[in-house]
Amino acid sequence: MSQETAVVPRIDGIHHVTAIASDPQQNLDFYVRFLGMRLVKRTVNFDDPGTYHFYYGDETGKPGTILTFFPWPGARRGRHGNGQVTATAFAVPYDSLPFWTERAQRFGFTASPQPDRFGEKVLRIDDTDGLAIELIESVTAADSVQDEGDGADIPGEYRVHCIHSATLSEQTEQKTLDLLTNMMGFRESGREGDRIRLQTQKGGPSATIDLLITPGAPRGLGGAGTVHHIAYRTPDDTQQLDWQQKLMSAGYQVSPVMDRNYFHSIYYREAGGILFEIATDPPGFLVDESADTLGSALRLPAEYESMRERIEAVLPAITVPTAGTLTESY
């Protein structure tokens, strides 16, 4: 008689990164018009329904492609530092950084080449709030070709592919390294200077975390242009509950499971202060919109539908742009 083998819960890499912005229209213009990402969901902050929550990603918002924002108009600028995700990197095709450098100049942004990182070329472009976005040459052009969508003016051989990695800045390495490797299943794959590279066991897209150890650097302060939290992927609800129990048993203060409509979430803080989330892959962004209408209308969770008129009255008016429709600087 065969005996069922217990499923060991796993982390499959980065699910999404969520950041804070100020002006919602400038945020849309940068990520859709300049970077060519698709607005896959236009909803509200479930804890503050008078604020938008924008989700950007590939054509269907697959886990590992998603960058999200809470845009609070007039929000003060934050400060990058220890205890934060200080850079979010996207994979782009080899030999595409000259294209992105020229495109940034046309749109009025500063593109700053960074030292090669683990053999890969890196370009930093800060968004309109100063959030650090990195483009890393790490995929072939064929891997990057997507449907036309919002990035129609960006040739396929240059398109943003998915999240490559996130940089976590820390005062010290040991406790965060222990959590990621001994608890969450990442493995150390290399070191360069103050940077430690970690990858999930199976590797692949969106599977990389970099720890940047900077003793004595100032602690980060939340605000516009900073990351609010980073979410890691787990395949389903059962494995998420296993993670919740495993983390609580190790002494972490873990939230109850929260229904975010498009995934289920648990939250906890690592020793350096960064807010971690573990999010399920399903149900995904097609649960309440078709693929061709993603992001075209304001979607609200059921508990806020009765408040729709009041919510729409306080949300700023926005226009979702098409990539490259204008080329003047901000």
Given a cut of 90, whether residue 52 has pLDDT beyond it is yes
pLDDT of residue 322: 79
Burial class (CB in 10 A: 0-12, 13-18, 19+), 252: middle
pLDDT of residue 330: 30
- Read off the pLDDT band of 22 (50, 70, 90): very high
In angstroms, the CA 252 to CA 263 distance is: 22
pLDDT of residue 325: 53
Given a cut of 60, whether residue 4 has pLDDT beyond it is no
pLDDT of residue 149: 46
DSSP 15-45: EEEEEEES-HHHHHIIIIIIT--EEEEEEEE
Angle, alpha carbons 208-209-213 (nearest 5°): 150
Tokens in use for 290?
């078709």
| Number of other CB atoms surrounding residue 269 within 10 Å | 14
In angstroms, the CA 262 to CA 204 distance is: 23
Average model confidence (pLDDT) across the chain: 93
Does the model's pTM come out above 0.75? yes
Given a cut of 50, whether residue 277 has pLDDT beyond it is yes
The domains found in the chain, sorted by start residue, are: 14-314 (3.10.180.10)
DSSP 92: E
Given a cut of 60, whether residue 128 has pLDDT beyond it is yes
pLDDT of residue 140: 83
pLDDT of residue 105: 96
In angstroms, the CA 168 to CA 178 distance is: 14
- Read off the pLDDT band of 8 (50, 70, 90): confident
pLDDT of residue 147: 47
Question: If you average pLDDT over residues 104-131, what whole number do you get?
Answer: 97
pLDDT of residue 3: 47
Question: If you average pLDDT over residues 14-33, what whole number do you get?
Answer: 97
Percentage of the chain with pLDDT > 70?
Answer: 92
Given a cut of 60, whether residue 1 has pLDDT beyond it is no
- Read off the pLDDT band of 218 (50, 70, 90): very high
Q: Whose CA is closest to 138, among 151, 126, 124, 121?
A: 121
Given a cut of 80, whether residue 144 has pLDDT beyond it is no
